[in-house]
Amino acid sequence: MLAPSPPWSTRRRLTSLLHVCTSMRELKQIHAQITASGFSGDDHLLSKFILFSAVTSDSGDLDCSYRIFQTIPTPSVFSYNSLIRHFSGSNNPNRSLSLFVRMLRAAAPPDHFTFPFLAKSCARMSSLTSSTSVHCQAAKHGLESDHFVSNSMIHMYAACGDAVSARRVFDGMLQPNLVSWNSLLDGYAKCRDLVAAREVFDRMPERDVVSWSAMIDGYVKGGEYREALVLFEAMRARPTMPKANEVTMVSVLCACAHLGALDQGREMHGHLKENGLRLSLALATSLVDMYAKCGSISEAVRVFRGVPICRTDVLLWNAMIGGLAMHGMGTEAVRMYREMQDEAGVKPDEITYLALLSACAHGGLVDEARGLFRSLVELGMAPHVEHYACIVDVLCRAGKVQEAYQLVCEMPVEPSAAVLGALLSGCRSHGWVELGEVVGKRLIEMDPDHDGRYVGLSNVYAVARRWEEAKQMRETMEKRKVRKAPACSEIEVGGGVSRFIVRDKTHPSTEEIYSMLDLLALQMKI
């Protein structure tokens, strides 16, 4: 006699529970009910379970979802797509491609949902080979003309640094929509081709806040900070333009930070308040970083303290600790580090220790630097060359050149130019001429076109009064046609930032500036 089928009312109830599920713990409880109710072989319910697992859980629950997927005798396309989606956002996105291969072998036809998830995986891996294969499969299955698929392909190629292929996909679209234009614009911006990005931006038949944000962020990432602020002002001047969002403001604050434009940074902070933008962690972190880099550490602390300690994350703490380090407040930075762990319960990362070691270097805190370097290793983090550069700098500033040299010799990787540069600086300051000569020559070998390498070794000789060798270094620079880069300084006046370069006369107020310099020089003589 056949066993009675589970009631459909139970199936509907379980489906409803899946729709309101908010955590992996609840999801597992629902799965237990699915099994107990006799629906363990129900493709529809299990597919729904995998889908909500992809949306609700993190990558740590992938194995659970995969085990459940394995129990489905003949997985549907929906089941495959749900798990591919789950894998695409995990720590190992390559598993989505493996599952796609299995999907093809099972003759389950991929659809217009499958390929955007695969494109996301390829983008996260920056794998151009996989990207090309996925694109070919999309074309083979007749989905290349689908807007959803095409837009994901543009983003995929851009993430892999192939702007040419991204443009080819765009040009092949019969009627590209706003998302298509934004994807291409963002792609060029990510590939640092700002000329092409701006050309796309200017040609767009319509623009939304995503378009403006992508172009502004492209300028910031490309180091064109003034252009970013000019474009933002143009955006604000358009009455029909949607208000700037969090992404826009993070980029704008970053531009202000790099320019040291405090007045403009304060204006942007006011803009946030006026437009009712919620102070998210990303915005708070950007504000702290901006105020610190613009020289107002008190305002940085005020913003930082305005965030409830229970809401803070490691990025915000890193910005604050880095700001204190920048201002030579080593003791305060170390105190903040302890508060971060003891009161906030936030675990430090490699960036935290980099900022702390930098703070110790500026504050002369040798013992604290040694302890922090040990903590970094004890917590299971492998020190990067940047950490070694900082600890070498700490030791050299304190006159412990021998200890610094020993540490460099014991490094598990080849010392970088930054590490050797810190050691060379210590040799110059404390008269270690022989070691400085060896280090200086090694730096020149590493980068024979860098003017600073020759100047550094020349200064080592000069401090030791070995004038002939110092002169020879300068002559070597001339023979090799290595030119010292002209110094550059920037100053903010009246909300605008002006840049000055040695012997540059392109500034619009050049005549007034030089007249004032002549007047000052005359007064100094008097």
d(CA 269, CA 267): 5
| pLDDT at residue 124, rounded to an integer | 94
Sign of the CA dihedral running 253, 254, 255, 258: positive
221-272 tens-digit pLDDT: 999 999 999 999 999 988 777 788 999 999 999 999 999 999 999 999 999 9
Range with the poorest average pLDDT among 76-85, 360-369, 397-406, 492-501:
492-501
| pLDDT at residue 502, rounded to an integer | 64
410-466 tens-digit pLDDT: 999 899 999 999 999 999 999 899 999 999 999 999 988 888 888 888 888 888 888
d(CA 29, CA 36): 11
| pLDDT at residue 2, rounded to an integer | 46
Report the b/e string of 243-260 with b at 16+ CB within 10 A: ebebbbbbbbbbbbbbbb
184-235 tens-digit pLDDT: 999 999 889 999 999 999 999 999 999 999 999 999 999 999 999 999 999 9
| pLDDT at residue 113, rounded to an integer | 93
| pLDDT at residue 37, rounded to an integer | 66
Residue among 146, 229, 136, 140 nearest 492 (CA): 229
Range with the poorest average pLDDT among 75-89, 298-312, 488-502:
488-502
Higher local confidence (pLDDT), 46 or 287? 287
| pLDDT at residue 242, rounded to an integer | 74
- Average pLDDT over all residues of the chain: 87
Higher local confidence (pLDDT), 343 or 241? 343
Range with the poorest average pLDDT among 2-6, 49-53, 179-183, 331-335:
2-6
Query: Which amino acid, 517?
Result: L
| pLDDT at residue 60, rounded to an integer | 46
| pLDDT at residue 58, rounded to an integer | 53
Rounded (10°) angle between helices 62-70 and 43-56: 170
Higher local confidence (pLDDT), 146 or 53? 146
| pLDDT at residue 457, rounded to an integer | 87
80-127 tens-digit pLDDT: 998 898 889 888 899 999 999 999 999 999 999 999 999 999 999 999
Tokens coding 378: 């004890």
Higher local confidence (pLDDT), 406 or 60? 406
| pLDDT at residue 16, rounded to an integer | 67
Average the pLDDT over 298-304 and give the result: 97
| pLDDT at residue 465, rounded to an integer | 87
- Given pLDDT bands bounded at 50, 70 and 90, which one contains residue 405? very high
d(CA 512, CA 519): 11
Angle at 224 between CA 218 and CA 228, to 5 degrees: 65
HSE, CB side, 13 Å, CA atoms: give it for residue 233.
Answer: 12
| pLDDT at residue 458, rounded to an integer | 87
Query: Which amino acid, 101?
Result: V
Does pTM top 0.75 for this prediction? yes
Average the pLDDT over 484-508 and give the result: 63
- Given pLDDT bands bounded at 50, 70 and 90, which one contains residue 503? low
